[in-house]
């Protein structure tokens, strides 16, 4: 009986953790994007900003895949919080990225939130 209960609890926990681990996304392929449904209101302005700025040079699919897998899809680099900040600084300095420091900071914080959510 004890074993059955333990097994049931473990199965229940594993199912629960899988369900919560997913960050919500929408679309497939090049149209893939983070779903705005699950994003807290405090991050919504940064999300809207990201949708405008980041797609100037690459699809949102690239960002979604990076967050989901922990690897930047093109280069294979680890995509963690350290890398997110480095990418942020790189984008800040990139000619014609048209983003100021506050905007970069907001998007870095948002991506860190996505990483946290994906790691749950």
Residue numbers at the binding site for other proteins (CB under 8 A):
18, 21-23, 25, 28-29, 32, 57, 61, 64-65, 67-71, 73-86, 88-90, 92-93, 95-96, 100-101, 104-105, 108-109, 112-113, 115-116, 118-119
Between helix 44-53 and helix 60-69 the angle, nearest 10°, is 120
CA-closest candidate to residue 70, choices 16, 114, 17: 114
CB of 3 to other proteins, least distance (A): 26
Q: Can you tell me whether residue 28 is helix, strand or coil?
A: coil
CB of 8 to other proteins, least distance (A): 23
Q: Which is nearer to other proteins, 2 or 96 (CB)?
A: 96
The residue with tokens 């990418």 is: 87
Q: Which is nearer to other proteins, 54 or 83 (CB)?
A: 83
DSSP H/E element including 115: helix 101-119
Q: Which is nearer to other proteins, 48 or 116 (CB)?
A: 116
Q: Which is nearer to other proteins, 3 or 100 (CB)?
A: 100
Distance CA 42, CA 98 (A): 23
């Amino acid at each position: 009986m004890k074993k059955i209960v333990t097994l049931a609890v473990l199965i229940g926990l594993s199912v629960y953790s899988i369900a919560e681990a997913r960050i919500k996304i929408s679309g497939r392929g090049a149209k893939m994007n983070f779903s705005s449904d699950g994003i807290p209101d405090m991050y919504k302005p940064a999300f809207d900003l990201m949708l405008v700025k980041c797609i100037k040079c690459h699809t949102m699919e690239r960002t979604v895949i990076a967050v989901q897998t922990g690897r930047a899809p093109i280069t294979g680099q680890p995509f963690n919080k350290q890398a997110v900040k480095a990418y942020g600084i790189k984008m800040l300095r990139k000619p014609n990225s048209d983003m100021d420091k506050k905007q970069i900071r907001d998007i870095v914080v948002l991506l860190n939130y996505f990483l946290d959510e994906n790691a749950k």
